[in-house]
Amino acid sequence: SDGDLSAFEEYRQDTAATRDILVCTHGSHDTCCGTFGYPIYDRLRNGLARETGSNLRVFRVSHLGGHRFAPNFVDMPEGRNWVRMGVGDVDDLLLRRRAPSDLKLFHRGWAGLDTPQEQSAEQEIFMREGWEWTTRERSGTVVEAANDGSPARVRIDYAGSNSGGSGSYEATVEQIEDAPRVECPSGDRSGSWWQFKVTELERISQA
């Protein structure tokens, strides 16, 4: 039947402790992904993965979106997107030798949320809470938003962690001046992109 996967059972792997890094190296689509993405892939695949002996798998992929942020890679199964990182920084990220706040410029967002306002709020919480934040179940809600560019109110709920507990944060997220879109590798500017800033962040409940 269409839903019968038993024929593939022998190929099933236990990946509960496996970490997959997906690196965009699609140079034929965007030369910056090929130029800057491949060294990241090479360092992770032929360097860190072998050196640590951990359950780290590294894959070259053809498209993650956001080529303008090259190098562009996703840390799975968490689903967190990291960009514009140099080869010298990736070990600190993967081994978590530096605080998330030290890596903020490289952080694009968590794929588990739908809107840029929620992602902006979650990022600020991540920067405040540190790596333990990634062990928690998280969800987001846009509590209040307007179509005229007024600030949005966002709630991020969390539950469970290595230290237990659950609760919520509320944030005010403002849309600020658009950032220019810069083409790679020419540096030409073509249009602009939205930018958002968290102006208030408050933990409203904790259990």
Which residue bears the tokens 């993967």?
94
pLDDT digits (tens, 9 = 90+) for 95-143: 999 999 999 999 999 999 999 999 999 999 999 999 999 999 999 999 9
- Report whether pLDDT(31) > 90: no
Strand order across the 107-110 sheet: 56-61, 19-24, 72-76, 80-83, 107-110
Give the predicted TM-score (pTM) of the model.
0.85
Q: Tell whether the torsion through CA atoms of 76, 80, 81 and 84 is positive or negative.
A: negative
* Strand order from edge to edge, sheet including 189-206: 137-144, 152-159, 166-182, 189-206
pLDDT for the residue numbered 162: 61
Looking at the chain, the whole-number percentage of residues with pLDDT higher than 90 is 55
Please give the distance of CA 153 from its chain centroid, rounded to a whole number. Answer: 22
